A and B are shown apart, each in its own frame.
Chain A
């Protein structure tokens, strides 16, 4: 992955970190007031809410098997999991996965494009960011909410999603920040390795082993 806008990216990275200190950290503290059980219900529901997007992208990638899984999970969790607050399917041997349009583009052979640090949203490839724009229009729930005149509910939902992810990653990120020589480069590499794993559904190409080339 190339990073031709590194200077700008580093500046935005710093800005994001400052915003995170000022807003993200305190909000995470507030979020942690909710007991773990409750946070898990929120997490399950948010995954449920975005599962139609995963379903569509499964299909666009030609992954019929995974699309089927997403479909079954959706109905099991809607009906037995009380509207998606309980991931009943996952507890019974049908774990969920996430797909987005950026991953679909990658499967279709579109290159990642330059690395971009997006204000508030953080690390992205250009392809990943373009995919998000499409994904925002793929979810039927969004249209239902908009039709009901409560489109703002979704904005709150995405904000909670960001806080939820942050809460889960907080300890690991604190460690990384403390131990890394260059936090920006560490995050960039971490993002890219993780993104590749997402795109390839966990089947990562052979990683090099230190010393095998000596």
Chain B
């Protein structure tokens, strides 16, 4: 019931946002919008976790959709693959981006499916550089895990560019890791593509 009402309110807000957005893309706008995006995402994740009779594959499918619609994957990808991306030709770029999408969706889906219904609550939202940051807590015994969602505009929507968990930036970790792999393969774009392909295949198998 509560869930339903929240969903309704959220939908109404999004609808209102869609009407108002073209006229008022102010700083306050992106802060409120960001908060709504994170709240909407968490309620979608929760309802997916709660809905009975979903196979594991179906559940993963839904997480992937939620992820894709809320994360600015192309921008994150270009930044994470930095050097390799800059040195890649168009056909390599296409492969890199496809693999990165598959990889990051898998990675975050694994994290999401570990979520066992500890309380997730949005604590605050405020301006952050060119966008906004939404702070949320995961509470479940002991001190809460603090998540910072760094949000930026992407076309008409507001999307996640980075998640900072207890002061650790996931995108920065990935960027350093990808850079290390690229260097270890003698700065070869194809080397990175091969490593990513192997990883995605391995994650698909399990």
Which residues does A use to contact B, with CB under 8 Å? 95, 171, 175, 178-182, 184-186, 188-190, 193-194, 196-197, 202, 204, 206-214
Q: Which residue of chain B has its CB nearest to the CB of A193?
A: B168
* Of A175, A207, A208, A211, most B-chain CB atoms within 10 Å: A211
- Bound Cα distance from A197 to B164, whole angstroms: 12
**Is B93 in contact with chain A by the CB < 8 A criterion?**
no
The answer to whether residues A210 and B173 also contact, given A179-B106, A182-B184 and a CB cut-off of 8 A, is no
A-B pairs with beta carbons under 8 Å apart, 17 shown: A179-B106, A179-B199, A181-B195, A182-B184, A184-B180, A185-B181, A193-B173, A194-B167, A197-B166, A207-B169, A208-B172, A209-B128, A209-B131, A209-B162, A210-B162, A211-B79, A212-B129
Pair B80/A210 contact, Cβ less than 8 Å? yes
Chain B positions 109-145 with a Cβ under 8 Å from a chain A Cβ:
110-111, 114, 128-131, 143
Whether B161 sits at the interface, judged by CB under 8 Å, is: yes
Q: Are B177 and A211 in contact (CB under 8 A)?
A: no
Taking a contact as CB atoms under 8 Å apart, the answer to whether A210 and B167 are in contact is no
Docked complex Cα distance between A188 and B81 (Å): 18
Binds A, one of B10-18, B38-46, B47-55, B70-78: B70-78
Number of residues on chain B facing chain A (CB within 8 A): 41
Contact B79 A202 (CB under 8 A): no
User: Which listed residue, B129, B130, B166, B203, touches A179 by the CB 8 Å rule?
Assistant: B203
Asked if A197 meets B168 with Cβ closer than 8 Å, knowing A171-B114, A186-B173, the reply is yes
In the assembly, what is the distance between CA of A107 and CA of B189, in Å?
40
Q: 14 additional contacts, CB 8 Å, given A179-B199, A180-B177, A207-B169?
A: A182-B177, A182-B181, A182-B184, A184-B180, A185-B180, A186-B173, A188-B176, A188-B180, A189-B177, A193-B173, A209-B131, A209-B161, A211-B75, A211-B79
